[in-house]
């Protein structure tokens, strides 16, 4: 898995780091082999419950983001045919990209989520985050405030126009589904084959300032734990990382028993 090589894993504490890197303009968005499946699922979710995957705050101001993305796609993915335009335009654009798209604007209380299309959220929804500043958005994240909040805010404030940075996060889940909304019914049965029933889930996140707006893109990827069999260094890092979780991290990740313990047992058995 190509994205395995991009993971930065370390045991805590601290549990969080910026982990960002500069990427060239041509690396901004991705064109995955399963693009059509992703776009079809985005359209389905929009038809079933549009308010669950798209939101716009009353304080949102006009931006040049959609036009910038449209130009970028026509230049770098010339064979991709965009669907017929409809409003809201950010949602239209998100239905033509593998990524989810989140817009933020600088207001008196910090960088605020003012518009977003989130089809493949991992236990969060755009409905619950719209209109919130960054510190409030990350309020549920264990150790975020004391370890990384100030660094994130400084990163946003100092971001130059046109520069693009990227990072990856990582989580464990019991489902290969991309759409894992907060109200999704979780599996509760016994995990019999951790290698095939536990998944690594990673988001390739990019950040680019466009005028007064910050565009945050999220490309979600999922792989069964078994695929780490060919990556001994990754397995070792995962073991140290999972073992280091304290009570707050366990509560935040909601994986004290369901995925954590079987994952550790499987990882140990590979050595």
Q: Give the residues across from 208 on adjacent strands.
A: 164, 215
pLDDT at 256 over 80: no
Return the structure tokens found at 219: 């490309």
Q: Name the residue range of residue 245's domain.
A: 2-269
Around 223, how many Cα atoms within 13 Å sit in the side-chain half-sphere?
Answer: 13
Mean pLDDT of the region 207-213: 97
Helix (H, G, I), strand (E, B) or coil at 21: strand
pLDDT at 86 over 70: yes
What pLDDT digit, counting tens, does each position of 97-145 carry? 999 999 999 999 999 999 999 999 998 999 999 999 999 999 999 999 9
Average pLDDT, the chain: 94
What pLDDT digit, counting tens, does each position of 185-201 carry? 566 678 999 999 999 99
Note the pLDDT of residue 185: 53
- pLDDT band for position 1 (50/70/90)? confident
Number of domains in the chain: 1
pLDDT at 251 over 90: no
CA dihedral (234, 235, 239, 240) positive or negative: negative
Secondary structure of 220-247 in HEC code, one letter for each residue = EEEEEHHHHHHCHHHHHHHHHHHHCCCH
The answer to whether the beta carbons of residues 215 and 65 sit under 8 Å apart is yes
What pLDDT digit, counting tens, does each position of 39-56 carry? 999 999 999 999 999 999
Helix (H, G, I), strand (E, B) or coil at 149: helix
Note the pLDDT of residue 184: 66
List the end-to-end C-alpha distance of the chain, in Å, as a whole number.
Answer: 20
The answer to whether the beta carbons of residues 84 and 60 sit under 8 Å apart is no
How wide is the angle at C-alpha 64 spanned by C-alphas 31 and 133, nearest 5°?
90
């Amino acid at each position: 898995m190509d994205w395995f090589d991009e993971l930065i894993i370390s045991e805590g504490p601290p549990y969080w780091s910026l982990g960002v890197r500069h990427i060239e303009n041509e690396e901004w968005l991705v064109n995955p082999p399963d693009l059509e499946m992703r776009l079809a699922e985005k359209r389905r979710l929009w038809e079933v419950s549009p308010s669950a995957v798209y939101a716009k705050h009353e304080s949102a101001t006009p931006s040049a983001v959609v036009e910038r993305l449209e130009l970028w796609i026509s230049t770098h993915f010339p064979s991709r045919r965009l669907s017929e335009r409809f409003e809201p335009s950010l949602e239209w654009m998100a239905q033509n990209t593998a990524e989810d798209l989140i817009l933020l604007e600088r207001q008196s209380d910090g960088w605020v989520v003012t518009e977003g299309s989130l089809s493949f959220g991992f236990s969060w929804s755009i409905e619950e985050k719209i209109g919130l500043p960054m510190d409030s958005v990350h309020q549920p994240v264990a150790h975020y405030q004391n370890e990384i909040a100030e660094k994130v805010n400084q990163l946003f404030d100092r971001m130059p126009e046109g520069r693009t940075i990227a990072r990856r996060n990582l989580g464990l889940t019991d489902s290969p589904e991309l759409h894992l909304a907060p109200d999704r019914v979780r599996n509760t049965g016994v995990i019999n084959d951790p290698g095939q029933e536990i998944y690594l889930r990673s988001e390739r996140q990019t950040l680019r300032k466009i005028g007064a707006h910050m565009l945050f893109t999220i490309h979600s990827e999922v792989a069964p734990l078994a695929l780490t069999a060919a990556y001994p260094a990754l397995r070792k890092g995962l073991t140290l990382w999972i073992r280091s979780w304290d009570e707050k991290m366990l509560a935040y990740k909601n994986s004290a028993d369901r995925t954590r313990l079987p994952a550790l047992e499987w990882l140990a058995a590979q050595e």
